[in-house]
Chain A
């Protein structure tokens, strides 16, 4: 990485800190990517994470970014359901809820129902843009994207996030909700993924370790 990380850039990078920590616990948050590109094991891990997101080239990356940025990834689904549920009564919602069989869909229904009014405006763009930055940081490890582009894109994302939310707390709540909406409420099974933590755990740790990062919300 060529450019230095100024406090301003660090603040923008921090918008993805939570997701980065969740997906890669040992990430160094004060670097561009969080990964050490000298270490082949770490590069491999970054590649694995990218592949998990279906990203195998710069073009794939940019397609993904476009979809996260425009809300097609999560918010569109959410807003469609929410609009429908806002017209429903408790009874009619229950009927719809019970008609679903897939636990994942049931979970989604429940979440949308719960937040159909509160998230009407902001949807899950906090989560999506956080993911947007997270993906870009991963992609820098394998060179799908350069620092200049990362900065330009992050700047725009930052503007949107800052104008949408009023505090780190509000923003991170949106990230957590988005994560829950996408992955389901179920906590990861520690027996299957030893050492993994829930997003909530990461959230707490993050605020303990980097308390000063998340105090002021600079618009």
Chain B
């Protein structure tokens, strides 16, 4: 132990002035100091008569031990003296108020020496061991010493001393934990080193502002990579401090400035101060960060933010960050702050932290026409990763108005892009930049998400614009990577399918359908879409649709059913519908049907020819048969003309290709054929008629046709000269009077009038009168005349004429009676 005590103090202690308890305490302290060999000890020990006396360490005694200004006169000696207190202080023999104040005065005075190299590290350590004990003990020295230390730490003018004290405090863990304050009752109460009202009262006279300003001042002070004053005070931060910031927001700005300066000067973060929070979980500094205009420093600060802060308190910061990137013509993009930190902020973000405002920001920066070219790539890469990459065909959920917000296509259209009314001009620049542009991929997502709403959001013209846009994008995918194709093409086709709902625009339908060649991923989608338009039972059929069916039948056949796949369904299901459609038409469609059936049969024949090569052809042939059977079954028989029916019948009976094996179809064709040709002469009848061998024909088989009718007419007009009064054919006409009438009415060559006139003449022929050899012929003529003339326009005239002739007296009675009978028949 130091010799100072022996040499300097021992002599000064007057043991006589001590009462026994003090003496006992002195003896104990001397024992602690290992001074049993001193005279004072012996004297004191001897003076103690009562061994049971309780030792009391009074202020007076303390001053005897500690209060020695003369020793402090020599600074080195003074430090040595302080250092020698350790055993005493360690055993709770603390200096009194007076000695403490003297100690602080000494320390202040000798600080420059203390910090110098003249004092050995060992001594410094010993002194601080004592200081530590004193500060953290219930002693009168605790407050003044602490005050001294804090003042020195905050004294930025004397950086040398300040740094020294900071270093030693950190090294010895001083100013952390508890300090003791003596109250009026001379009792010590412990206080924590945290910034709260009592702390401010004790060391800053209750002036919060002064304390906080001091703290702010020391924050940027220090050496890079070395702990500084900030590290010391960081331990003091408390909820109360946070509350102070909340109520005095102007100080948060200063705090942020200090944090930024610290970062700039010594490259150290002030995480503790930045993340200071109140008991309610409010972060005052972050609140201010989110409400001020940013500079590069704020970006640095922002980049060090903890991820556990409630997102609603950080939202504003993201917005300020975007503002910072936008101002000054986006020049902040090129700063170190963005390269080193801003970039990281964005790439480390995710959809849970990004604000919805980043969408318009992204579109502005990367706009194909007005964007900033040198920034496009960086932003596109960033936002592609954030908003598109892993979204699985949905728009992201971003932050909006302090809550999570699922972005929808409709929201983007109406609120973000505001393109309800200017779609064309707005989309134009994007259209040319192709699907590889992430902006377009995002737009595709947006329109896909809004696809149902598109029809209500946009009028027809705008829907058209959208379709053109989607088609153009789809075509640019040809050159794109597989990922882009698989991610975007199905969406594009969905958008197009939704927009192209109106039936009838087959050019557009085909354009969309044709996209299937771009990538196999959309083949089925495109085919389904085409089918929904070509076979749409909701809309009425139209001739050009049916024509399209037959045209695509060619593709279906030639491609072995791999193209125009919906034709298969058409053939299987649309036969009845086709038949009904033609039945409903009033126009003559025989020409169309003839062509159509020719084409269908052509492919049937081809398929039959090739079915040995490939079973697909068998399938096509059977599908065609199904279709034909359906159509013909329901189709009114008079919708086909005879040539077509003949063609069908001939083909149906063809041994090699025909429908022999399909009884349903061949029966239908047979019945159709019978309908058209039941009254047509069979070849034999024609031959017999030509040879005049009518007696060999059953009268029932003689048809009412041109031949029969003209033959009869000729006969009627020339029987007198040619002498042939053929009754067989007349009889036929008489029995098939309805067929004759309809035939004549359809014939507008005047043959009907000719007929009636010729018959009229026979009535007046006496050679044909009753009771003559040609009476039968005459009777038939009369009956036929009545049947034809009755009800006609001329009936009345003929009746009058005949009546006049009957009464003229030129005719014999039988004929007269007969003529009058004819008149009666005509009139009834």
Contacts and interface: CB of A to CB of B under 8 A. Distances in A.
Interface in B518-560: 518, 551, 554-555, 557-560
B517 A149 contact: no
Contacts of B606: 152, 156
Nearest to A59: B514
Given A148-B560, A156-B606, A56 B554 contact: no
A159 to B, nearest CB: 10
B464 interface: no
The interface centre, meaning the residue of B515, B555, B558, B606 with most chain A CB atoms within 10 A of its CB, is: B558
A62 B563 contact: yes
Contacts, number: 44
Contacts of B560: 148-149, 152
B513 interface: yes
B558 A58 contact: no
B551 A66 contact: yes
B510 A56 contact: no
Chain A binding site: helix, strand, loop or mixed by DSSP? Answer: helix
A9 to B, nearest CB: 15
Contact of A56 (B514, B563, B610): B514
A60 B514 contact: yes
Interface string A25-61: 0000000000000000000000000000000111110
A173 interface: no
A149 B475 CA distance: 25
Given A58-B563, A62-B563, A66-B551, A152 B557 contact: yes
Nearest to B557: A152
A62 B558 CA distance: 10
A59 B558 contact: no
A59 B513 contact: yes
A57 B514 contact: yes
A144 interface: yes
Interface string B325-363: 000000000000000000000000000000000000000
A58 B523 CA distance: 12
A58 B510 contact: no
A144 B515 CA distance: 12
Contacts of B513: 59
B558 A149 contact: yes
A59 B559 contact: no
Contacts of A146: 559
B515 A66 contact: no
Interface in B492-532: 510, 513-518
A204 interface: no
Interface in A143-161: 144-146, 148-149, 152-153, 156
Interface residues of B, number: 19
Nearest to B606: A156
A164 interface: no
Contacts of B557: 152
A100 interface: no
A66 B554 contact: yes
Contacts of A60: 514
Contacts of A69: 554
Contacts of A77: none
A144 B559 CA distance: 11
Nearest to A144: B517
Contacts of A58: 514, 516-517, 563
A198 interface: no
A57 B515 CA distance: 8
A63 interface: yes
Contacts of B559: 62, 145-146, 148-149
Contacts of A63: 510
Given A62-B563, A63-B510, A56 B475 contact: yes
A192 B606 CA distance: 47
Given A148-B560, A152-B558, A59 B510 contact: yes
A69 B517 CA distance: 22
A33 B302 CA distance: 64
Nearest to B614: A148
A138 B178 CA distance: 92
Contacts of A56: 475, 514
A148 B510 CA distance: 23
A63 B510 CA distance: 9
Contact of A57 (B517, B555, B558, B610): B517
Interface string A127-152: 00000000000000000111011001
B338 to A, nearest CB: 42
A153 B517 contact: no
The interface centre, meaning the residue of A57, A145, A146 with most chain B CB atoms within 10 A of its CB, is: A57
A164 to B, nearest CB: 16
A57 B519 CA distance: 11
Nearest to A58: B517
- Give me the 5 closest cross-chain CB pairs, A-B, nearest first: A59-B514, A57-B517, A57-B514, A62-B555, A149-B559
15 contacts: A57-B515, A57-B517, A57-B518, A59-B516, A62-B554, A62-B555, A62-B559, A63-B510, A66-B555, A69-B554, A146-B559, A149-B563, A152-B557, A152-B558, A153-B558
Given A58-B517, A59-B517, A156-B606, 19 more contacts: A57-B514, A57-B515, A57-B517, A58-B514, A58-B563, A59-B510, A59-B514, A59-B563, A60-B514, A62-B555, A62-B563, A66-B554, A66-B555, A144-B517, A148-B559, A149-B560, A152-B557, A152-B560, A153-B558
